[in-house]
Every structure is written in structure tokens, then in C-alpha cells.
Structure 1
Amino acid sequence: MRRRLAAALLAGPALLALPRGPARAGDAPPPALPALPRLQPRRWTLANGLQVLALPDERRPGAGVVAVQLWYRVGGKDDPPGRSGFAHLFEHMMFKRTRHLPDEAFDRLTEDVGGHNNAFTAEDTTAYLNLVPSAHLERLLWAEAERMGGLQVDADNLRSERAVVQAEFGQRVLDDPYGPLFHGMAPAFWQVHPYRRPVIGRIDDLDAATLEDVQRFHRSYYRPDNAVLIVAGDFELERLPALVERHFGPLRAPGTPVPRVTVVEPPRQIDQRLVLTAAQVPAPAVALMWSGPPARHPDAPVWRLVAALLGDGDSSRLVAALVERDRLAQGAGFSADLLADAGMLNAWAIAAGPSVQGAEPRLDPRLVRLEEALSREIHRLATGPLPAAEIDKARTRLLTEALSARQTAEGRALAAGWAEMLSGDAAAADLQLQRLATVQADEVRRLLREQLLMQPRVTLHYIQRGRR
């Protein structure tokens, strides 16, 4: 990731619509929110396979800005065996020189005219994001087509960007005392699916990469029939097809099919307990992980609501109980990582207070207390009362983020892109919002009972590496 995007934009399709649940006596009714605009993109496909989504801003013509985003159907799961981090490496390499552009030209094309650019790699996709004044739309279309078809994949670029990615690994994983914990969850949880390889990759895999490996990866995935171009904001819709055809039409799709992951993660049969160690762990931590549905599943919005109830903000159940009330943890959270092929649900907590010097880390009693506390709060939500005010508050938080995002060209393009990549159709973003609008407390409890209380889980203890 070149620059860190807001977490709300990386979480997937924005969620929309707020129903008014019955308020209990003494509860203030939830605030009325305006209806959020539906995406409703215009869609077409070029002869070379490039898909195009157009989202003109018909509510505010003349706003003056346009988002140009190119989403590729390649992510961390597509890294070749023994070459983890390739998709992420290519995110960086795509900012190097092309046939007609020098290194870092996208900064000049965007920032020098008052816009900006960014990029990120996820498990299922790599996306390149630009926002510029509308007068510069065609220039950005030309530039994106130029780097799709004219990137110079050479030894110098590989050497420089490999060093950048390895430095990023050090900052995000090695230099953060809890980086190894969050980096290690995927390998601990996934049994066979390539989601088990963290997107950022491994330093030794990147060291082993050859120029031929990198060029093969580029040919396989960076092609028009593996990409979705999204244009949103203030532009003339009737002119866009000709502009896109002019710049992207000449690009040829290879005659070979795009490689696709066909591995299916098997159902987990038994509980599993694992220990992860690191050289510097200020306080031990616990993570609990369960299987979840893919992002396109009808229950995906319910799980996003569950994540908000359990782990979003100081008033969420895990933070309020483990951090604020019982003082067992210095931090706690819950995530619903719902991806294109499958999902992982996880709860985590970091113990309060430092590790005890000289004590055996595996025997630290705080590990048991954290594990019990996480399980207890999840059980309470699954079996106890869930006040309408609490569910409405969590839903409002999600909707406030969605409302803010859909007021911008960039936010609408991101919502469409995530839905397209994770669910196969940008319309899924609106369908999931409709689903969120109907979620009731009994559905939340049912899912928690069926998925978290009755299904096998992986328990991960994160501790200081002991001396030998």
C-alpha cells in the first residue's frame, strides 16, 4: 500500500439504510437519516474484455472532480507458491516508468493539478485510485492505459521496489510488537486456501523472486480482460465510451486464460490451539477465529453489524467489558474478514500490564482470563438481550460512514469496486444495504449461536519467545 487508506474504505462495500427499530421505554429514537444514493452504474465491456463502470454525478453536475480507478482481479491469493507478496510488489512497480512515462509520473499527473492518487492490495484485488479535476479525465485514462500496456518490468525496477516492500514489511510487522500477531492470524487459520499467505508476503519469498517470475506474473494478470475501469463524478457520460475506446481499445488481451484460484477451504472439523511467539511481546494476547461466509453471502451485512456491536468503539461489548470495566485488556476487537471465496471471523484481546519478567510465558494466567472473557462476551450477545438502542447505534455508525463516502465521487467508485471484486456485481453494494436495513436482533443472536458457539474455532496465544 503506497499510503494508508481510511479503514472504512478498505473494509469493503459501504453499507446503507437505517430502519427504525422499536425503541424501549426511555430510549431516544435513532436519528432520521436521509436516503443514500444508489450506485446504479452504467456498464459496458470493450472487445478486449475490459469492463467499464460509469457513475456520473447527476445530482451535482459541475462539481468539477472525477475519480478514475482501475481494479485488477489479482490479489494476495493469486501469489505463486513460494512467491508470496507478488501482488503487493506489483502495486509498487506500477508506479515505475512505462514506455512514455517516467517514474512516479502519477504524482505529477494528479497532485500537480490539485488531485491525488493511491493504491492498495488486498486478498482478492489490487486497485489504483486517482482523483483529479474533471478537465484532466482524458489524461488519466491515457495514463492508466499506458501503465497497463507499457510498464517496464526490468531488473532495476524489481530491485528498487523489492527493497521498498521489504522496508514496509519491517515497519508494519517487525517493528510493531503486535505486528506478528495480526500477520500470523491468516496462516494460523486457513488450512489450504491461499488466503493463508499474508498479502504483504514474506521477505525470503521476495528475495527469491527472479525477473522472469515477475514478468510472468505481470503477463498473467495485468491485462484488459482482468480489469474493471471505474469512472465516477462530474463528466459527460455520452463522451466517455469514445474516450475509453480511444485509449484502452488498442490494448490486446492475451490468448491464454487468466489463472484462477480453484482451491476450496474445507470445513473445520475440530478445535485447534496454537501458540505464536515473538522476540518482543510487551503483554500477551489471545485471538479466537471461526469460519465465516464469503462477502457475497446474504448474511454478510449481519456480520458487519456484529463486528460493530462487539468491537467498534469504546462502547462496543468487548472494549466496554474487557478494557473499561474489568481492566483485563489494553485493547480488544472483533473483525469480520469476508472475502470473495470465504471468510474469517476473529475476536482478539491484548492483556493489560506488562509481561512478567522471568515467568514462563505459556503459563501466564492472563491468557486464560482473556480467552474466557472473550468467549463470555460473545456468549452474552448470542444468548442475552440486545436492546434496540444498541443495535441502532451500531447501525448508525456504519451508515454515517456510508453516507460520508457516497457523497464523494471517490467513495462511490470505491463502493462499486469492492462490490464488483468481492461479489461479482457492483449492484451487490446496494443489495447489502437493503439487507442491513432489515437486520433484527434475533438474526444477530442466531448467527452467533450457529457460527461462533456451535462451530470449531482456532485459539491463538501470542507470547514472548522464551529463553532456551
Structure 2
Amino acid sequence: MPPMACLRRTLANGLEVLALPGGGSGSVSVQVWYRVGGKDDPEGRSGFAHLFEHLMFKGTRHMAPEQIDRLTEDVGGQNNAFTSEDNTTYQNLVPSHHLERILWAEAERMASLNVDEANFLSERAVVQEEYRQRVLADPYGRLFNAMVGHTFDVHPYRRPVIGSITDLDAATLADVQAFHATYYRPDNAFLIVVGDFDPMQLDGWVNRYFGPIRRPSSPIPRVNVREPAWTHSPAPVHLHGPNVPLPATVLLWKGPPASHPDGLALQVAQVLLSSGEASRLHEGLVQRRRIAQSAGWSCSFYTDASSITAYAIAAGSHRPEALVAPLLDDIRRLAHGPIPAAELDKARTQVLTSALVGRQTPEGRADALGWAMIHGGDPAQADRELMALQTVRAEDVRQALRRHVIDRPMATLYYSQAPQAEERPS
């Protein structure tokens, strides 16, 4: 697959524009990435970035609520949005001859969103219901929601992106309007356009619709918190939830940022340990020892750090405490033992294939460029990572695990059915 040699420029108001023409099969992906995520939520107001993911679909000065759906879905396209720890992203895919309308709509959302009481109250209720479904109703939702808070001590990554009902209840319209004015601005965003379009025509439309948007004079607050390393492992924590089918154990390590050289080796380690029935942890805990119903390992990369997680859900009557040593044993075996060439090649190929398959579509290429910008500020990093991935060696995997996981301080969470008196939703 050829390199993604995108065209890049910056408007006078600070908006960065990345354009990658070609290979759209008559379609075009338009994405706007805002450099605001869960880590930027004000203290005591977690969930604001996620709230605005929803609010941005409400009306603007010249656009009715949900009109973005009509401009995409009604012409055979689609739209979506997501919030992460570091960014909030709005994605559109439409036939190429509808490109101008989507550029106008995204400029409208950036310049003149209606952040009023009615929209705030309706979308806050939607987000709170999402919290109830994803966190309170899911048998393991409370566990997933608690993990970042037990990984990070001082960095804002410690707060779940989804927020909390309490923080959202405490929010006022003035709080929300101030957050919007602070972060939703052209100099805190970049526009990505990928697919079938004429670059000169695109430049003209971008200048027309985005160029007039005012750049505020106020500075953009940035998180400059360095997460301290643990000097020792925290005491194990016992968590409970209602309707928990089987107990679970989670091990957590503070990991390196997305830009760290060990990142690719840790991605390969994730496949070796956790992908499929032949993976190390599934074979060791589920098939051979038969002490777990499922087991896995993952590394979630953020701009400033990462969270490394190993987990197992107990099988039968096994207690969650009994899963810790087997999890660590199988991870340690990978970190210190041989990795057969065929096993390494398969894992490396799986990571590479996943990236290449994604790039077969305009939206997949736009996603790759966007993450490269968020994590390193350079779209070319997406291609460099693909090249570097092909050279990851067994020793790279072993060294990465020894640097960040093996014999490093870790947090341990045990999750099980709540005593009956504790089963009321919180």
C-alpha cells in the first residue's frame, strides 16, 4: 500500500487541514478532531468532553438539530463521533459530490453551536442514561469504570471519560458554555479530508467556510501533569457489583505514552498474550489450567501515558485471588522465554493486517492520520509505524515487557458479586 502523503496547511485562524485525495471509490471522509478529551474535563465536572460529543449534534445558528444526519444518512452516507482521553472526533462519510455541504455543516458546528439550557438538559439526560446502561447495568461495568482510577493517581486520565452522574448533576449551563468557549475553536482542531475530491476545490471551500471562524485570543489550557511511578504495589482492592456472573481479577500497570519506542512491541505482545484461542493466556489459564473462563492482556495508549491491563474471569468455584500467580507466570514466560519465529510472525502480521485493512477505506485512512496527529503531531508517523512494525523482534517484545510489566509495581483488583445490602445502584 502506498504511503499516505497528505497535503497539509494551516489557516490564519489556526485550523490545521490535512487532505489526502484519491482511492475513495466515489466517496469522501470528512473528520474534525478537537484536541479536547476526558483529561481536559474540569475537576469535579468529569464527562464534559463526552457531553459535547452529544451536544454537537444539536442545532446551530443556521442548522436544525440532527440536520447533520440528514446531510449524511439521507444521501447514502453516515456519521459518527467518539470521545477519548485525548480528543473528541466527528466523522462523516458521504458521496464526493456532497463534500461541500459537509464542510459547511462542520464549520457551522465549530462556529455557532447552540449551547442553551434546553440542549444542555436533554443531552445531559442522554449521557446519564448511557452511564446507567454501560456502567450500572452491565455486570462488569463497575469494574471497567474503576480501572483508570486505580491506574493513575494524579493525572486526569484517572477519571473515566464517560463522567459520572454526580458530576453531571452538579454542572451548570455556565460551566458548559465556558468549556465550549475554551476548547471548541479552530486553533484547537484539525480537519481531515480523504477520498475522491479535487484538492484545489477543497482549498477554496475550506477557506470559504472555515476561514472566517474567529480565533479567540485566550490561551488554550493544557494538561501538564506527570504521573509519578509507583515505588511499590498498592494494596489489592476488592470491588463488588450486582449480578456478577463470575469473579474477575484485573492487574494494572502504568505504561509508556503512545509515542514511546516500546509501543509497537507492546502491541505485538498483546496479540501473543491475548488474541485468539492459541494465545498464551487463553492456552495457559483457560485450556491447560482450566481456572479461568477467559483471560487477556491489553495496552491502552494515550498521549501522556498508557494503561497496561491483564485480566481473568474465574471458572467454576475458583477464587479471583487464585488467578494472579498464573497470569503473572504466563506473562513472565513470554518476557523471559523463547518466542518461536512462526508465533512472532503470526502476531506481527495480525497487527499489520489490521492496520492495512483499515486503510482500504477513506475513513480508515482518515482515522490513521488523526491518531498520528493526536499522539505525535505528525501525520507521517502513521506510515513510519507500519514500517517499524515489520522489524519488531522477539527480543524487542521481551525487553518491553521487562521494562514496563515484569517485577514492576502493579495494582490488583478483585471483582465479585456484591453482598445483598450493597446491590442498590449508586
**2:57 matched to which residue of 1?**
95
Pairing partner for 2:122 from 153, 160, 168: 160
**2:7 matched to which residue of 1?**
42
**2:424 matched to which residue of 1?**
none
SS of residue in 2 equivalent to 1:206: helix
Moved more, 124-133 or 337-346: 337-346
**2:299 matched to which residue of 1?**
336
**2:187 matched to which residue of 1?**
225
Paired with 1:137 and 1:288, the residues of 2 have a C-alpha distance of 46
- Conserved 8 A contact 2:31-2:192: yes
How many angstroms does 1:437 deviate by?
Answer: 1.1
**1:306 matched to which residue of 2?**
269
SS of residue in 1 equivalent to 2:310: strand
Paired with 2:232 and 2:298, the residues of 1 have a C-alpha distance of 22
Deviations 1:150-196 (A, max 9, x none): 10000100111011111111111111111111111000110100000
Deviations 1:54-78 (A, max 9, x none): 0111xx47x2100000000000000
- Conserved 8 A contact 1:296-1:428: no
Give 5+ residue unaligned stretches, structure 2: 422-426
Paired with 1:185 and 1:197, the residues of 2 have a C-alpha distance of 9
Paired with 1:327 and 1:316, the residues of 2 have a C-alpha distance of 15
Moved more, 139-148 or 448-457: 448-457
**2:281 matched to which residue of 1?**
318
The yes-or-no answer on 1:72 pairing with 2:34 is yes
SS of residue in 2 equivalent to 1:460: strand
The yes-or-no answer on 1:397 pairing with 2:359 is no
Paired with 1:323 and 1:39, the residues of 2 have a C-alpha distance of 41
The yes-or-no answer on 1:450 pairing with 2:403 is yes
Paired with 1:215 and 1:398, the residues of 2 have a C-alpha distance of 41
- Conserved 8 A contact 1:298-1:435: no
Paired with 2:329 and 2:420, the residues of 1 have a C-alpha distance of 33
How many angstroms does 1:237 deviate by?
Answer: 1.1
How many angstroms does 1:395 deviate by?
Answer: 1.5
**1:441 matched to which residue of 2?**
394
**2:19 matched to which residue of 1?**
54
Paired with 2:140 and 2:289, the residues of 1 have a C-alpha distance of 22
- Conserved 8 A contact 2:107-2:209: yes
- Conserved 8 A contact 2:321-2:414: no
**2:417 matched to which residue of 1?**
464
Paired with 2:130 and 2:277, the residues of 1 have a C-alpha distance of 30
- Conserved 8 A contact 2:26-2:96: yes
Q: Which runs of 4+ in 1 moved over 6 A?
A: none
Pairing partner for 1:206 from 154, 161, 168: 168
How many angstroms does 1:467 deviate by?
Answer: 5.3
**2:379 matched to which residue of 1?**
426
How many angstroms does 1:464 deviate by?
Answer: 2.3
The yes-or-no answer on 1:172 pairing with 2:142 is no
Pairing partner for 1:274 from 225, 231, 237: 237
Deviations 1:312-368 (A, max 9, x none): 222211122212332211121111111101111110111113xx7xxxxxxxx5222
Deviations 1:83-137 (A, max 9, x none): 0000000000000011111111111000100000000000000000000000011
Give 5+ residue unaligned stretches, structure 1: 1-35, 357-364
- Conserved 8 A contact 1:37-1:406: no
The yes-or-no answer on 1:185 pairing with 2:142 is no
How many angstroms does 1:465 deviate by?
Answer: 2.5
Aligned-pair Cα RMSD in Å: 1.3
Paired with 1:392 and 1:425, the residues of 2 have a C-alpha distance of 28
- Conserved 8 A contact 2:294-2:314: yes
Deviations 1:365-397 (A, max 9, x none): 522221111111101111111001111111121
Paired with 1:263 and 1:425, the residues of 2 have a C-alpha distance of 22
**2:111 matched to which residue of 1?**
149
Paired with 1:212 and 1:421, the residues of 2 have a C-alpha distance of 28
How many angstroms does 1:242 deviate by?
Answer: 1.3
Paired with 2:2 and 2:126, the residues of 1 have a C-alpha distance of 40
How many angstroms does 1:454 deviate by?
Answer: 2.9
**2:71 matched to which residue of 1?**
109
Moved more, 175-184 or 81-90: 175-184
Q: Which one-letter code corresponds to 1:426 in the other structure? A: P
Paired with 1:136 and 1:345, the residues of 2 have a C-alpha distance of 42
Paired with 1:287 and 1:73, the residues of 2 have a C-alpha distance of 30
Pairing partner for 1:82 from 41, 44, 69: 44
Q: Which one-letter code corresponds to 1:104 in the other structure? A: E
**2:82 matched to which residue of 1?**
120
CA separation of 1:136 and 1:467: change in aligned 2, threshold 3 A: closer
The yes-or-no answer on 1:293 pairing with 2:256 is yes
How many angstroms does 1:466 deviate by?
Answer: 3.1
SS of residue in 1 equivalent to 2:221: coil
How many angstroms does 1:262 deviate by?
Answer: 1.1
Q: Which one-letter code corresponds to 2:249 in the other structure? A: V
**1:369 matched to which residue of 2?**
322
SS of residue in 2 equivalent to 1:385: coil
Q: Which one-letter code corresponds to 1:156 in the other structure? A: A
SS of residue in 1 equivalent to 2:345: helix
Higher normalized contact order (CA 8 Å, seq sep 6+, divided by chain length): 1
**1:26 matched to which residue of 2?**
none
